[in-house]
Amino acid sequence: MASSRHFRVITTFIRPTTSSLRVQRSLVAHNARRFLSTTPALRDSRNFAPQTTIFRDVEPLRDFRRAALLNNRTIGLVPTMGALHEGHLSLVRQAAAENTDVFVTIYVNPTQFGLHEDLASYPKTWETDLRMLHTLDRELASVEGAGRVTAVFAPTTKTMYPTLPPDSSIPGVGSFIEMRPLGQLLEGASRPVFFRGVATVCMKLFNICQPERVYFGQKDIQQTVVIRRLVKDFHLPIDVKIVPTSREPDGLALSSRNVYLGTRRRTVGIVLNQALRKAEAQYKARNRTRGDILWPASDHADQTKMAQDALEPHERARFEVDYLSLADPETMEELDEVDPARGAILSGAVKMLPVEEGGPSEDLGVGGGQIPVMAIT
Ligand SMILES: Nc1ncnc2c1ncn2[C@@H]1O[C@H](COP(=O)(O)OP(=O)(O)OP(=O)(O)O)[C@@H](O)[C@H]1O
Ligand SMILES: CC(C)(CO)[C@@H](O)C(=O)[O-]
Ligand code: BAL
């Protein structure tokens, strides 16, 4: 059986207090208002014509992109692994507010999955994904000034890895992009090939689609740091946009892997989000040192863990805290103290262990509570 996996919770960017970030935020707010504002900006969508083309190969997509460039159109790229949910759609919405064309890529990239991770069982919902994008595109068609979802790129692995088959082993035969030590910290410590795979596939997708802007979710915060580094170190002419995390009412972040959780692990899984909120509150109360910021988070996680461990096997959802991190926003190196002018990234990971004993009619999630999980709240 594949090894148990992390239930990751990566929540908070303690923002610097510089005016440039405030400007960035207000621009996003402006765009959101432009996009979300009601009647005056609504277009008549009765004549809605779907504009989305599905591409499997590189050359036709390149031709499409070239034509867009000649027509002064701008491309916002949203890379995904499919199994779409409202979090993905929020990325598409922001991309549509800032570009004439949105390209969505749907590709489950093998090189970012370690050999014992959940590549084989990763949820695939192609038909539903297309329906969701179609519905969203219809909505976009009715908004004055909004871009449209004009391309979905869903390549085969042979297209993405044209020379050698993808290799997920640590020595890794093939052509890769690596960032050391950034890609080896935190998530990279427990998933040693993860960021190598992400950086490599994103470089490929950026080269194929040549977007002006790319959109990534803050939920995967270390991934956003890796992408910014990719763009900086390889001089890519791309603007990286980070979109806030979409959450369930109780704070659980939407995530494709949530289907694995089942009721019991889902309920307990919000522990880390709760813990990190406590740490964030410490920062907001003007605490700046690592100990002061992180202790309530560790304490909350410890208390919850003890309470679960004390329950009977048919009642409990056991977990282990992998890390609680207070890190520099560009290097992800751990900080002893936060400089408010620079900000920090507060993040954490919890390993949700398999359910030991299911109840008679209990919803244990896809895979009966045993599937390796990489869900994010
Ligand atoms: N809840 C969310 N809010 C905002 N962005 C999100 C959310 N969930 C995913 N994203 C972003 O969507 C993009 C594609 O993510 P991906 O397809 O891996 O979905 P996922 O839900 O993160 O899946 P997984 O369960 O594998 O982590 C990434 O940039 C990711 O950060
Ligand atoms: C960015 C990405 C699409 C690369 O495969 C993936 O890591 C994801 O979905 O976050
Ligand atoms: N959203 C992160 C992709 C992964 O876990 O592989």
Same domain? 346 vs 289: yes
Same domain, yes or no: 154 and 302: no
> What's at 30, amino acid-wise?
H
What tokens appear for 107 in the block?
């590709």
Which residue from 165, 143, 156 is spatially nearest to 97, judged by alpha carbons?
143
Q: Which protein residue has the closest C-alpha to ligand 2 atom 1?
A: 79
Q: Which two tokens stand for residue 100?
A: 């004439």
Give yes or no: residues 76 and 168 share one domain: yes
pLDDT at 20 over 80: no
With respect to residue 85, please indicate whether it lies within any of the assigned structural domains. Answer: yes
CB 327 within 8 Å of CB 334: yes
* More confident of the two residues 232 and 35: 232
Q: Pick from 223, 241, 242, 245 the residue to mutate for probing ligand 2's pocket: most ligand atoms within 8 Å of its CB.
A: 223
Q: How confident is the model over 146-161, as a mean pLDDT?
A: 98
Statement to judge: residues 129 and 174 lie in one domain: yes
Ligand 3 near 220 CB (within 6 A): yes
Give the closest residue (by CA) to ligand 2 atom 8: 80
If asked whether residues 220 and 291 sit together in one domain, one would say no
pLDDT (average), residues 144-152: 97
Share of the chain above pLDDT 70, in %: 86
Question: Is residue 231 domain-shared with residue 268, that is, in the same domain?
Answer: no
* Sequence-ordered strand ranges (E) for the chain: 6-14, 53-55, 75-80, 101-106, 148-153, 213-217, 239-243, 319-327, 344-352
| 28 in any annotated domain | no
Ligand 3 atom closest to residue 117's alpha carbon, by position in its atom list: 6
Query: Which of 202, 220, 243 finishes a domain?
Result: 243
- What is the pairing mode between strands 53-55 and 75-80? unpaired
Which residue out of 86, 91, 112, 374 has the highest number of ligand 1 atoms within 8 Å of its CB and is therefore the one to mutate?
91
Domain assignment of residue 26, yes or no: no
Q: Residue 210's domain is classified under what CATH number? A: 3.40.50.620
Between residues 258 and 280, the one the model is more confident about: 280
Q: Closest-lying ligand to the alpha carbon of 197? A: 2
220 CA → ligand 1 middle, Å: 7
Q: What is the value of pTM for the model shown?
A: 0.90
- How many residues belong to the chain? 377
Atom of ligand 2 nearest to the CA of 205: 4
| Same domain membership, residue 141 and residue 55 | yes
pLDDT tens by residue, 96-139 = 999 999 999 999 999 999 998 889 888 999 999 999 999 999 99
Specify whether 231 is located in the same domain as 256: no
Residues 258 and 115 occupy one common structural domain: no
pLDDT in the model for residue 14: 52
Provide the number of structural domains found in the chain.
Answer: 2
Residue 140 lies in a domain: yes
User: Are 158 and 305 in the same domain?
Assistant: no
Whether 194 and 309 map to the same domain: the answer is no
| ipTM, interface predicted TM-score of the complex | 0.99
Percent of the chain with pLDDT over 90: 76
Beta sheet of 148-153, edge-to-edge order: 53-55, 148-153, 101-106, 75-80, 213-217, 239-243
Q: Which of 198, 220, 243 is the last residue of a domain?
A: 243
Q: Between 370 and 81, whose confidence is greater?
A: 81
Q: Is there a domain that residue 270 lies in? A: yes
Residue 25, in any domain of the structure: no
Which residues are identified as catalytic?
Answer: 88
How much is the average pLDDT of 209-219?
97
Ligand 3 atom at minimal distance to the Cα of residue 217: 1
Q: What pLDDT shows up at residue 307? A: 97
Q: Final residue of a domain: which of 193, 227, 243? A: 243
CA distance 203 to 61: 16
**What is the residue range of 373's domain?**
1-18+248-377
- Which residues sit with their C-beta closer than 6 Å to ligand 2? 79-81, 109, 112, 198, 201-202, 220, 223
Give the CATH number, domain containing residue 366: 3.30.1300.10
Q: Which two tokens stand for residue 209?
A: 């689609």
DSSP three-state, residue 226: helix
The strand pair at 344-352 and 6-14 is best described as: antiparallel
Q: Do 105 and 227 reside in the same domain of the chain?
A: yes
Q: Is 265 helix (H, G, I), strand (E, B) or coil?
A: helix
**Tokens linked to 271:** 């522990």
